[in-house]
């Protein structure tokens, strides 16, 4: 079960969000643009990166994930929750909603 939020739930300045993660494919980013404050992380590498370079991220860090579709971010939230993270959510509407919210 994923914790879904709307883009309106995100502060435009991302105050209180420890990690904003973009799990879209390179093609989606190339076609639609990127959010500069987001960490680009391929879905397939999430577990590996959080076991390696991001191993020091606190388990209670506020992590918000977005993709181009719900099928992309939902499984990532489940992966992170399975790794013990307790404050993970994905954004309903994905990248388009985050961009529309004015987050850069």
55-69 confidence digits (pLDDT tens)? 999 999 999 999 987
13-71 confidence digits (pLDDT tens)? 999 999 999 999 999 999 999 999 999 999 999 999 999 999 999 999 999 999 987 57
> Where do the structural domains in the chain lie, given as residue ranges?
4-100
Classify each residue of 34-66 as buried b or exposed e, where b means 16 or more C-beta atoms within 10 Å of its C-beta: ebeebeebebeebeeebeeebeebeeebbbbbb
CATH number of 4-100: 3.40.250.10
CB 67 within 8 A of CB 94: yes
Q: What is the pTM of this model?
A: 0.93
């Amino acid at each position: 079960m994923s914790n879904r939020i709307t883009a309106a739930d995100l502060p435009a300045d991302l105050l209180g969000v420890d990690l904003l993660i973009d799990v879209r494919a390179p093609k989606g980013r190339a076609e639609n643009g990127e959010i500069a404050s987001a960490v680009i992380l391929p879905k397939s590498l999430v577990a590996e990166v959080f076991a390696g370079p991001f191993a020091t991220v606190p388990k209670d860090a506020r992590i918000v994930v977005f993709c181009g579709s719900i099928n992309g971010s939902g499984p990532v939230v489940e992966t992170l929750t399975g790794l013990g993270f307790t404050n993970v959510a994905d954004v309903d509407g994905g990248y388009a909603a985050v961009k529309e919210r004015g987050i850069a």
